Amino acid sequence: MSWKKIYEKRLMSPEAIAAALPKEPTIFASPAASFPLELINTITAAPTTGTVTMYSAMIMTQPDFLSPEQRGRLHYRCCFMGPLERMLLDRKGDITPFSVTFSRIHELVRHIGFDATILEVSPPDEHGYMSLGPSGTLLGYPALAASKKIYCQVNDQTPYIFGSQAHIHVSDVAGLCEVSRPCDELPATEPDAVDETIADLITARIPDGATLQLGIGKLADAIGDRLTDKKDLGIHTELLTPSMVRLHDMGVITGARKEVHPGKIISAFGMGAARDYRFMHKNPVFEMYPAHYVNDPAIIGAHSNFVSINNALAVDLTGQVSSESIGFQQHSATGGQLDFVRGARLSKGGQSFIAMKSTSGSGDRRFSRIQTCLLPGTAVTTPRSDVQSIVTEYGIAELDHKTIPERVTALIAVAHPDFREELAREAVQAGLISAEALKDSQLAA
């Protein structure tokens, strides 16, 4: 039977797909810009469906299960939180964050198993293969292998993306439905003066020919804006961001010096604006692979001059980094930061930067992000033994191969001046550094 006949035979209404699921199903839904919104809305509204347990991440458009009418219809187990997921935290019982390093996320899904995986995909190509879209490869084939059945929402505006684990054939799908809508877009960001100062410090350290991993948001945009004079940069990144697309269009990113996938931009998933999704569509320069491959420290470390740049919420005076919680309050998730920190360390000439503004809050509620000790309950995302450099708008603290007292003085030096005296006093009281050693350091000057 031809793939076109298979497609026609398996084309169903969203309601029929919902009715085909078990009464209380455990499902995986492709995350972020590939979230199958309409099909999930149909499933949670179906009279045949009880409580749905859904695994996903970083939903970008508000689904119906957040409405008061559907309260309790879906429990969301989230492997990475964005703004929408943080809203859900106030609704106890509706969301459970969990901690998993992205390089090992395939182990988690094998352990769980799903009644169904629900995907948003592109229309089939001439051979019947549908692309998993801009974000569906984050888990990719491991999620499909862990599922009893696979259902797809075919969106004719989903980009067709290359990569050896970025597609599914119509014959592997239990049911299909069709929609037409633009992929969810990231809101535009505007770096402020502090972001720009931090970006200046980091970009001065990036050599021509380096391969980059950037986080998301204002700092990534500011760094991208400052790399325009570099030559032959490469990209091997968990997340493809708009700044990378702009740099490629300007000829800055060529991948010519990459040892792994030379000439290619490699990522595990992508989020951006319409122009970024157009860039992804059938572009032979761009390939996506699951996070367990992209985030593998050994693969990262096989690139020379790999530069990893990530954000943090707080750092203690010994160098422990938290990028996922403030005390017991979850903010994002473990993600792939540690994977890229460790991968950069394995790279010949590799560098890893953890960047953050020196303070947060305002007025009487302003506090230092560099802290004597992290608040009780704060998750350590990157252990101090792995950290190379901490960057604030006041400079770069080099922590690699440093003693605890040396780390203390380096971190106080890049803290906000309003908090340095307090941090120094607390460091002495905690026994992290002696008063004499502190007096002899450059801080005393």
Q: Which residues are catalytic?
A: 238
Instruction: Quote the radius of gyration of the chain (alpha carbons, Å).
Output: 23
If phi over 0 gives left and psi between -120 and 50 gives alpha, with beta otherwise, what is residue 251?
Answer: left
Q: Do 85 and 59 form a contact (C-beta atoms < 8 A)?
A: yes
Residue 141 one-letter amino acid: Y
8 A C-beta contact, residue 76 and residue 51: no
How many Å apart are CA 191 and CA 223, to the nearest integer?
10
* DSSP symbol at 229: T
The one-letter amino acid at 83: P
DSSP string, 251-264: T-B--TT-SSSTT-
CA distance 17 to 423: 58
Q: Buried b / exposed e across 397-429, counting CB within 10 Å, b at 16+?
A: bebeebeebbbbbbbbbbbbeebbeebbeebbe
SS3 content of the chain, % helix, strand, coil (to 5): 35, 25, 45
Strands (E), 122-166: 129-131, 147-155
- Cβ count within 10 A of residue 10: 16
Cβ pair 326, 369 in contact under 8 A = no
Strands 359-360 and 286-288, by their bridges, are unpaired
Tell me how far CA of residue 322 lies from CA of 176, 325, 382, 419, in angstroms: 41, 7, 7, 19
Q: Edge-to-edge, what's the strand order for the sheet holding 370-371?
A: 321-322, 314-316, 370-371
* Residue 200, token pair as written in the block: 């200046």
